[in-house]
Structure 1
């Protein structure tokens, strides 16, 4: 066979292979009440959320069940509700809607898509409110006390912290530290310190309290830039009284009841749904 023909054949095989692979990636994996889920969505969700393909598929199935149920119940979000939500988001960031729009466009984001996302989130909130309305969410004080007595280690608070403080003028430098903690990044100052909890402001202490040993706190804005802490150790623990944590325990138990109500609701929907599996991820 002439070289040119072989070269053409080889190129044709490559193109057919690439087309086949592209078709497979974009292929429909599952159809839920007429709403398709592609293999691409499953792999993308798995990667973004750092979860297994099975967990990603379960999440996407619930997403499609939400969409289906919102349509079935006629849940709507009008233009006024969307505008009000946008105004609230802008106000929280001390900017106008025009500035919010300019910021998003400057980041290459599509404003119409963002408005659509806001509309969908409002519909979702309305659906979930209807789920919670039919669930018993009240918590008995006896259950709160029982949880407190059964989990004493959850209600101890450190009074001294061994920390590494990272200061920078911008978030990007700190993100580079998070990506590679052993690296030296220009513009980042690192200070080892042992801090007494009583000297910290409430917000900083909360972040450090909630951060496990060996991990970084969220970014904390300060007058001299942005900082974060690596929590190396916690010591001098004290036990918190029941009265100090009662409200927090009650909120935690209410959240668990809400999640149980949601799980139960969607399990029932799933059992009745028209789910067709075409390709397993």
Structure 2
């Protein structure tokens, strides 16, 4: 009997060791593994402490969402994806293909990611939006003066758009501009900065003159790349042209201060057990 009891205790000990072997932190009975931390370090390019702090906050947010009974419907997820696709001039099907091409996520995985984003947004609204006020004109002007260089941008781009069904064929053109194929269509256009989507404006602004942008889906089942032929001289639109953007950025900063304070207090009072950290 003693031998049986000893064996059972030994097996139980092994099982418990196996369960906790990979666990680094336990947050309100929810585990964060060493693998989780290493993955966050790799994805976010941060050290172990910052990665762990980020994961702890994610666990605390998930607990708050559950405690507050915050939910997101499938129609809300669909509407958000529909808006994202529309902003990129794509059908939802083509947008899913673009996400799969760029990140490797399936449509199911992407829907789950959008759901988590919307849950977090609702939580943030419940915590922060009632605690912050819109910035005054004085705050807006001060913020603009401090960040004025960030609001300098080209007024337009002259581009040649290369379009093809085959990504490999288009990549060959990008790698060798002298390459010609009748299967690659070209179209030269002047794109005013304030008339294109923020995503495209950012993509073009980050590409040097006489360079190609990364290849992106064209929204029609194919691919395209923009060759920057010329860029007009930078111009400053003035504070009124970026006022809404400034308000959004100030509100985002204020919101993050409120949220950081809230979750710092939550963390101080939460049951968090740090077992080990990656070496």
Using the alignment, how far apart are the partners of 2:135 and 2:233 within structure 1? 33
What 5-or-longer segments of structure 1 have no aligned partner?
1-22
Q: Partners in 1 of 2:119 and 2:230 — Cα distance?
A: 44
1:146 to 142, 149, 153: 142
- Measured against aligned partners, the alpha-carbon deviations of 1:92-146 in whole angstroms (never above 9, x if no partner) come to 55569xxx9xxx9xx99595x7776666555433321111234213111111112
When structure 1 is superposed on structure 2, of 265-274 and 230-239 the one drifting more is 230-239
* Corresponding position: 1:46 with 2:41: yes
Q: How far, CA to CA, are the matches of 1:109 and 1:223 in structure 2?
A: 19
Alpha-carbon shift at residue 248 of structure 1 (Å):
1.5
Superposition pairs of residues 223-238 of structure 1, within 5 angstroms: 225-229=222-226, 234-238=231-235
Partner of 2:123: 127
CA offset digits 1:159-189 (Å, max 9, x no partner): 46576x5624358549968xxx757899796
1:88 aligns with 2:85: no
Match of 2:201?
208
State the alpha-carbon separation in 1 of the partners of residues 198 and 63 from structure 2. 44
The structure-2 alpha-carbon separation of the partners of 1:118 and 1:208, relative to structure 1 and needing over 3 Å to count, comes to closer
SS at match of 2:218: strand
Distance in 1 of aligned mates of 2:273 and 2:248: 38
User: In the aligned structure 1, how far is the partner of 2:246 from the partner of 2:105?
Assistant: 42
Give secondary structure in 1 for the equivalent of 2:128. Answer: helix
Residues 49 and 25 (structure 1), Cα distance of their counterparts in 2 relative to 1, 3 Å cut:
farther
Separation in structure 1 between the aligned mates of residue 145 and residue 264 of structure 2, nearest angstrom: 32
Instruction: Call closer, same or farther: CA 1:176–1:51 in 2, change over 3 Å.
Output: farther
Q: Trace 1:70-109 onto structure 2 (pairs within 5 A).
A: 70-71=65-66, 73-77=67-71, 81-89=72-80, 91-92=82-83
> Any unmatched runs of 5+ in structure 2?
1-17, 86-90
CA distance in 1, matches of 2:268, 2:169: 46
TM-score normalised by L of structure 1: 0.64
Does the CA-based 8 Å contact 1:32-1:275 persist in structure 2?
A: yes
**1:194-273 equivalent positions in 2, closer than 5 A:** 198=192, 202-203=195-196, 207-208=200-201, 211-214=205-208, 216=213, 219=216, 221=218, 225-229=222-226, 234-273=231-270
Residue 15 (structure 1) aligns with: none
Give the distance between the partners of 1:264 and 1:34, measured in 2 at CA.
23
